Amino acid sequence: MHGKRTLFNPGCDHAGIATQVVVEKRLKRERGLTRHDLGRDRFNQEVWHWKNEKGDVIYDQFRKLGASVDWDRAVFTMDPKMCRAVTEAFIRMHESGTIYRSNRLVNWSCALRSAISDIEVDKKELTGSTLIAVPGYDQKIEFGVLNSFAYKIEGSDEEIVVSTTRIETMLGDSGIAVHPDDQRYKHLVGKKCIHPFIASRELPIFADSFVEMEFGTGAVKITPAHDHNDYEVGMRQKLPFHNCITDDGLISNGCGEFSGMKRFDARNAVIEALKAKGLYRGKEDNPMVVPTCSRSKDVIEPILKPQWYVKCDHMAEKAMSAVANGDLQIIPEFHKATWNRWLESSRDWCISRQLWWGHRIPAYYVSFTDKREQPLAEEEYWVSAKTEEEARQKAAKKFQVAEDLIQLKWDEDVLDTWFSSGMWPFAVFGWPDNTKDMDLFFPSAVLETGHDILFFWVARMVFMAQELTGKLPFKEILLHAMIRDAHGRKMSKSLGNVIDPLDVIRGVTLEGLQAQLLSGNLDEKEIAVAKAGQARDYPDGIPECGVDALRFALLNYTSQGRDINLDVLRVQGYRFFCNKIWQAVRFSLNQFNEKPEQKPTFNIDLSKATPTDKWILSKLAKAVKETNETLKVYNFTQATSITYNFWLYDFCDVYIEAIKPVLYGDNPTLRQIAISVLHLCVDTSLRLISPLMPFISEELWQRLPRLADSDYSAPSIMVAQYPLTERYEKYQNDKLEAAFEFAKEVVGKVRSLRADYDLTARTKITIQILAETADDQSMLNDLSDVIATLTWSKSVTILAKSESDKIEKGSAHIACGSRCQVYINLTGIIDTVKEIEKLGAKLQKNQISVKKISDIQSTADYEQKVPSGIRARDQEKKASLEKEIENITAAIAQLKALN
């Protein structure tokens, strides 16, 4: 709308783990098969089928929401051009040493049999003993306890007691650490313990300052192959690494009687065996965090695995520098702290996943057909290549042997989804080729995304772009809040509180919502919980709100910070706002067509315009200026508030009502100006709101008459000129706006009095206003017709302060601040005696209601037994009744004064 070339490139990623889990669950549920029953190729065919079936749902939602994207450019991260770019990136980064292979601890999901990223790990915070359901176990498993047991010192009757929250991992212990300054254990440093179940294993006792003397017994069992802290200690102390848990969650061979047991069955078995040997020392509650897989709900195990890694230290430094020197902007700015915190502590990125769905890693393990010795470390025997033939050539050159001696094994693993997603800003435009699109659209101007993936996706895009193109991928990062339900809970299918935007747009019954649960991947227990949640939150279903109302609500919510508590009723409120816009435009169109000889014009003679016309044009100019300013800095909350307030409170509530006498009057000059102003306001406001509400604005704008003397025209509002501040500055009139605010305050007071006496719009009244100053008297005189129209009055008389003797008897009175006194003549309009009786009865009823609430609140156990929400409601109702009592009392006093 500003005439600039723009591109919003649509697409979606293959969501490796999430997609594979969903398809595996469906296979098991519908056909009783596992992926291993099908094999890799057939399983991936199933995934492609599911992707083609479900992937269009995302695009359909996007289309329905009115996203202005170029659908011809839609890209999927498994498309051929993306696969080519991913392969090229891996090879370049591997050969430069940025990607390397190493045997390290990873987040391992035994249920998935794969490493997972940090973002796919949920953290359950426990305060003490807690039973948690774990996939593959019939009974819940206890967590949140600290078990203590003793190791016997070799050649001695002494023992050393250690504590652990994962007692089954003692089968992988390599040593025992104590603090160098701990006097209790100084004499034991350098001695050894004998493992009670693995007689051949000796455990050295050593000093290390990482030990917290106050925690547990002050002695720490070290399991380097299954704990991140212990891994560092093991490396530092050169301890052996003993894997005691297999990929599928069983106890490894070599662990004595426990070998082959499921890990948490072994937990209980180890405790019983320690008791039998007299080595168990009891358990106690222990606050802790249990890491679980967000996809499988399995408890994560740190397991030692050879994996592919990306060196991140130099990339993280460059990314932090880009933000620090202003080359890369993060909006809102408070997210910079998160950016720096993540990147300052950034570890190398594990990019391999033990899945079948995804970009298979283009790396080949090299061995030799003549079975020669391979003395180098395992990671030295890998080459990366686009094809097996290319890999063979590279290997032959690297090891200086003939190609026919090379034996290759293609890596079975796939790349982390974030690797290909991290290449999105340039791969979609044809990288590694130097395409025209790369020249035109890379780097991008702005990335808009959720703050929860600032590190996992945004930082990776910055890493990959700078590493592979030498450029930042975009100039600005705009982060939106995360949508939660009306209660502030994270949206979860198992809670039944996930809201499909299409359901909000079209509306859905409660039965329709619950039917959707049956087509998902929830088990019967989860479905029951979800149904109860839906019945509680949406007893009448979700009302039809329309696209524009949903967009407007979401944009207005953006000021909430890190989270949005989405209330569907608020969205529905904006649907009513859309109705108001529709009615206002329909009214305007009727006026444009009312008299064929009178049509709105583009050029308005302000010298002949009424104060009302000048006022609305000034408000329009301000709305244009402020909306442009707020959109420029992505302040969508303010942009929605400004446009909402102009349409509803200025244009509909005041201007349209105030000009009706002119539109239906007999002054053609004033009517000509009024319909021209009306057209300018509608046309401008629709263009102003178009990016926020594209559907209703397009539909209504197309119905507006095109003005012959206008200096712009466009086939669609989407490419029409966005209202520019400089075009409307000539209408700005702060003095007139201030006068109108005063007049509107007077109107509000009069309407309040009318409500007090139940006077409908049909009851015409006479108003006298006593102004405190001559300036205010003049100001109100100029706007007396507006006041009369908006208060449904026969006449409005503005009097000077000195003319108080002219106030008619039988008038009700209300003060309008310190600037004026407002009087309404009620003579012959109301029966004061009957009105006093009616108000008295209402007063008595309210007083009884207040006493009942007070009596309830004064009971002895009210604070303890009544839920806080109900207590708050009681107090709110009581305060409302007390305010009403105050108003009724004042009204009765005034009625008595009239007599």
Predicted local distance difference test score (pLDDT) of residue 118? 80
Q: Looking up tokens 């492609």, which residue turns up?
A: 48
Predicted local distance difference test score (pLDDT) of residue 412? 95
> What is the distance between the alpha carbons of residues 227 and 225, in angstroms, rounded to a whole number?
6
Identify any residues that bridge with 152 across adjacent strands, giving them in sequence order: 159
Q: Looking up tokens 């230290």, which residue turns up?
A: 313
7: three-class secondary structure by DSSP: coil
Q: Rounded mean pLDDT of 547-560? A: 89
691 preceded by cis ω (within 30°)? no
Predicted local distance difference test score (pLDDT) of residue 516? 86
> What is the distance between the alpha carbons of residues 811 and 816, in angstroms, rounded to a whole number?
15
Residues 6+ apart with CB under 8 A from 321: none
Q: Where on the phi/psi map is residue 358: left (φ > 0), alpha (ψ -120 to 50), or beta?
A: left
Cα dihedral across residues 213, 216, 218, 222: positive or negative: negative
Predicted local distance difference test score (pLDDT) of residue 711? 58
pLDDT tens digits, one per residue of 42-100: 999 999 998 888 878 888 889 999 999 999 999 999 999 999 999 999 999 999 999 99
pLDDT over 80 at 522, yes or no: no
Q: Looking up tokens 């509000």, which residue turns up?
A: 748
pLDDT over 90 at 492, yes or no: no
Q: Rounded mean pLDDT of 119-140? A: 92
Q: Rounded mean pLDDT of 753-767? A: 89
Residues 6+ apart with CB under 8 A from 459: 316, 319, 339, 342, 343, 346
Output the 3-class SS for 305-371. Answer: EEEEEECCHHHHHHHHHHHHCCCCEEECHHHHHHHHHHHHCCCCEECEECCCCCCECCEEEEEECCC
DSSP 895: H
Highest mean pLDDT among 395-409, 495-509, 873-887: 395-409
pLDDT over 80 at 734, yes or no: yes
Predicted local distance difference test score (pLDDT) of residue 710? 64
How far is the CA of 580 from the CAs of 13, 177, 498, 684, 706, in angstroms?
40, 72, 30, 16, 23
Q: Looking up tokens 């040493």, which residue turns up?
A: 97
pTM score of the predicted model: 0.83
pLDDT over 70 at 494, yes or no: no
Asked if residues 99 and 35 have their Cβ atoms less than 8 Å apart, the reply is no
Q: Which of 43-52, 126-135, 814-823 has the lowest mean pLDDT?
A: 814-823
> What is the overall mean pLDDT for the chain?
92
> What is the distance between the alpha carbons of residues 482 and 494, in angstroms, rounded to a whole number?
18
pLDDT tens digits, one per residue of 699-730: 999 999 988 766 567 899 999 999 999 999 99
What letters, b where the CB count within 10 A reaches 16 and e where it falls short, cover 481-490?
A: bebbbeeeee
Q: Is 841 exposed, middle or buried (0-12, 13-18, 19+ CB in 10 A)?
A: exposed
Predicted local distance difference test score (pLDDT) of residue 29? 85
Highest mean pLDDT among 48-57, 418-427, 486-495, 832-841: 418-427
Q: Rounded mean pLDDT of 582-601? A: 90
Predicted local distance difference test score (pLDDT) of residue 496? 66
Identify any residues that bridge with 813 across adjacent strands, giving them in sequence order: 823
pLDDT over 70 at 386, yes or no: yes
How far is the CA of 390 from the CAs of 378, 396, 663, in angstroms?
21, 10, 81
Name the H helices within 360-414.
Answer: 388-399
pLDDT tens digits, one per residue of 182-204: 999 999 999 999 999 998 999 99
Which of 646, 692, 698, 686 is closest to 552 using CA atoms?
692
Percent of the chain residues topping a pLDDT of 90: 74
Cα dihedral across residues 195, 199, 201, 205: positive or negative: positive
What letters, b where the CB count within 10 A reaches 16 and e where it falls short, cover 122-151?
A: eeeebeeebebebeeeeeebebbbbbbbbb
Indicate the pLDDT class of residue 313, thresholds 50, 70 and 90: very high
Output the 3-class SS for 695-743. Answer: HHHHHHHCCCCCCCCCCCCCCCHHHCCCCCHHHHHHHCCHHHHHHHHHH
pLDDT over 70 at 445, yes or no: yes
How big is the CA angle at 892 (ends 889 and 894), to the nearest 5 degrees? 110
Predicted local distance difference test score (pLDDT) of residue 483? 84
pLDDT over 60 at 739, yes or no: yes
Asked if residues 712 and 721 have their Cβ atoms less than 8 Å apart, the reply is yes
How far is the CA of 462 from the CAs of 90, 343, 433, 445, 467, in angstroms?
16, 12, 19, 13, 8
Asked if residues 238 and 208 have their Cβ atoms less than 8 Å apart, the reply is no
pLDDT over 80 at 899, yes or no: no
**DSSP E strand boundaries for 223-316:** 280-285, 288-293, 301-310
Which of 410, 409, 407, 412 is closest to 367 using CA atoms?
407
pLDDT tens digits, one per residue of 623-669: 999 999 999 999 999 999 999 999 999 999 999 999 999 999 999 99
CB atoms within 10 A of CB 515: 11
> What is the distance between the alpha carbons of residues 627 and 725, in angstroms, rounded to a whole number?
9
pLDDT tens digits, one per residue of 226-279: 999 999 999 999 999 999 999 999 999 999 999 999 999 999 999 999 999 999
